[in-house]
Amino acid sequence: MKHVSRRNFLTTSAAASSVLALSGTAPAFLQQAASDQNSDGRILVVVEMAGGNDGLNTVVPFDNDLYHKARPKLGLSESDILKVQRGIGFHPEMRGFADLLEAGHLAVAQGVGYPNPNRSHFESMDIWHTCQRKGENRSDGWLGRFLEASGGATSSDPAGLHLGHDKQPYALMSRGVRVPSIRSLDEFRLNGSDTEGFREAVKELADARRDDSNDLLGFVQSSTSSAISASERIEAAVGMNSKASASYPSSELAKNLQTISQLILSGLKTPVYYVQIGGFDTHAQQANVHQTLLRAVSESVSTFVNDMIAHGFGERVLCLCFSEFGRRVNENASEGTDHGTAGPMFLAGTQVKAGLIGKHPRLDDLQDGDLKHHTDFRQVYAAVLRDWLSCDAESILKDAFKPIDAIQRA
């Protein structure tokens, strides 16, 4: 076996840590992982629609005269709408969601928001991510608290994964659990001309008697060995493309969801995945941009859900789609919409109670020109935590919220 000095090992380990690119935390992300608290291994995939999705042109009250009066240019006509129930329908580019709904695999929570809404992207997103207002303790996010509450490590698999080029969402932050952010499976792999030699060196040094006085070496030995193990586990998923039953769309969101599919099919026990799609801040010339974004979300999520069903994972996977706020009812002079309040959330999977949940917000009872919410977003989170992830929602959300009736309980 190749001999490697401690100095060379530390140097090579640092390089490997850089290759792994785990949100700046290097191999230390494996210090903690979520336990198998869910006996059936349920998985949550969160899709963040960043920028403030126009819910009024997503779930559309197409036969409401007030809707068309407020939106003479952006209003969608009845002939274009994908009808859901009397007077309500989806944007015409949401065929994927319409098909999921018809199959009984989509729940739509209408009129979701929170009291005293904030129209700042950053502040509102922080509220959604932490379930706390400014001035309250925001040391962690709601999903980070769930992962920490789930218990100790049960495998070398990450507790959660964030996929994409964006900054890691606050929702995954935790004081005790490190969640890696990766851009792609290829970037996560250990590359280099002597990768196999490095793996052997790690194993050699991990098995060697350690000098208790050298805490740094001990840490690097253990954490790098764990990182190698996780890299091997995730690298194996790269070869799972042949198992894909679906042809995914070409959008970045679809590619990230396809990666999640590969990881799930590879046998990873990671319970939480997080992806983002931006561009929903449609202040001007909204129509074309919004339809492209809705098509990407609808096609990507529906393809992913159907892919999971085809491989027998349909009962284990739930997708949650949200945006930090909706848009104002009236279109602006630039044929766009400005920051608003309430909007819809979507839950997709075979275990949802399909259909519309709650009434569409009234257009004849506005607050400062905005829709009034009737469902707190933490009621949706409470349903996900209690009915899907089988945990104490009140302790995670730091308050009691009545869960919406949207998920078949575990």
Q: With beta carbons less than 8 A apart as the criterion, state whether 274 and 259 touch.
A: no
Domain assignment of residue 103, given as a range: 32-188+245-397
pLDDT for the residue 201: 57
34-76 pLDDT per residue, tens = 333 444 699 999 999 999 999 999 999 999 999 999 999 999 9
Neighbour tally for 110: CB within 10 Å: 21
Q: If you average pLDDT over every residue of the chain, what do you get?
A: 84
Query: Does 37 fall in a domain?
Result: yes
- Identify the sign of the CA torsion 202, 208, 211, 212: positive
| Confidence check: pLDDT of 15 > 80 | no
Which one, of 309, 370, 402, 360, lies nearest residue 52 by Cα? 370
Do the domain assignments include residue 409? Answer: no
In the predicted structure, residue 385 carries a pLDDT above the cut 60: yes
| 206 domain-assigned | no
| Crossing angle of the two packed helices 195-207 and 215-236, in degrees rounded to 10 | 130
Question: Across the strands, what pairs with 319?
Answer: 45, 348
Q: Is 294 helix (H, G, I), strand (E, B) or coil?
A: helix
- CA-wise closest residue to 180 among 100, 270, 281: 270
Whether 209 maps to a domain, the answer reads no
Q: Is residue 201 part of a domain?
A: no
Question: How many domains are contained in the chain?
Answer: 1
**pLDDT-based confidence at 241, cuts 50/70/90?**
very low
Amino acid 25: pLDDT: 35
The enclosing domain of 109 has a CATH number of 3.40.720
Judged against a pLDDT cut of 80, whether residue 218 lies above it is answered with no
Pairing mode of beta strands 272-277, 82-85: unpaired
Estimate to the nearest angstrom the gap between the alpha carbon of 142 and the chain centroid: 12
Q: Is residue 68 included in any domain, yes or no? A: yes
Q: Provide the token pair at 271.
A: 């319970």
Nearest to 38 by CA among 141, 154, 190, 201: 154
Edge-first strand listing for the sheet containing 59-60? 59-60, 88-90, 82-85
Contact 47, 321 (CB under 8 A): yes
The whole-number pLDDT of residue 137 equals: 85
The predicted pLDDT at position 164 comes to 92
C-alpha–C-alpha distance, residues 304 and 255, integer Å: 10
| Per-residue pLDDT, 253 | 97
Q: Does some domain include residue 213?
A: no
- Tens digits of per-residue pLDDT, 169-196? 999 999 888 888 888 776 666 555 555 6
pLDDT grade, residue 147 (50/70/90)?
A: very high
pLDDT > 80? residue 228? no
Helix H or strand E segment including 402: none
Whether the predicted pLDDT of 22 surpasses 50? no
Instruction: Give pTM, 2 decimals.
Output: 0.84
Instruction: Between 299 and 194, name the one with better pLDDT.
Output: 299
Look at residue 184 in the predicted model and tell me its pLDDT: 76
How far apart, in whole angstroms, are the C-alpha atoms of residue 345 and residue 105?
Answer: 14
Average pLDDT of the residues in 300-310: 97
> Is the distance from CB of 339 to CB of 119 less than 8 angstroms?
yes
Residue 183 has a pLDDT of 83
pLDDT, position 180: 87
Question: Where residue 205 falls among pLDDT bands split at 50, 70, 90?
Answer: low
pLDDT exceeds 50 at position 23: no
Average pLDDT in the 224-244 region?
Answer: 56
The one-character DSSP state at 65 is H
Residue 355 β-bridge partners = 107
Does residue 26 or residue 324 have the better pLDDT? 324
Residue 1: Cβ within 10 Å count:
8
Taking residues 96-117, report their average pLDDT: 98
pLDDT at 34: 30
* Per-residue model confidence (pLDDT) at position 268: 87
Q: What percent of the chain is helix, strand and coil (3-state, nearest 5)?
A: 40, 15, 45
Q: Residue 18 pLDDT more than 50?
A: no
Answer positive or negative: Cα dihedral of 110, 114, 118, 121: negative
Quick one: how far is CA 393 from the chain centroid? 18
CB contact at 8 A, 117 and 55: no
Section 261-289 average pLDDT: 95
Helix (H) or strand (E) holding 17: helix 6-20
Pick the closest to residue 272 from 176, 173, 345, 354 (CA basis): 173
Q: Is residue 26 part of a domain?
A: no
- Residue 55 CA to residue 409 CA, distance in Å, equals 28
* pLDDT at 230 (0 to 100): 54
Work out the average pLDDT over 289-296.
98
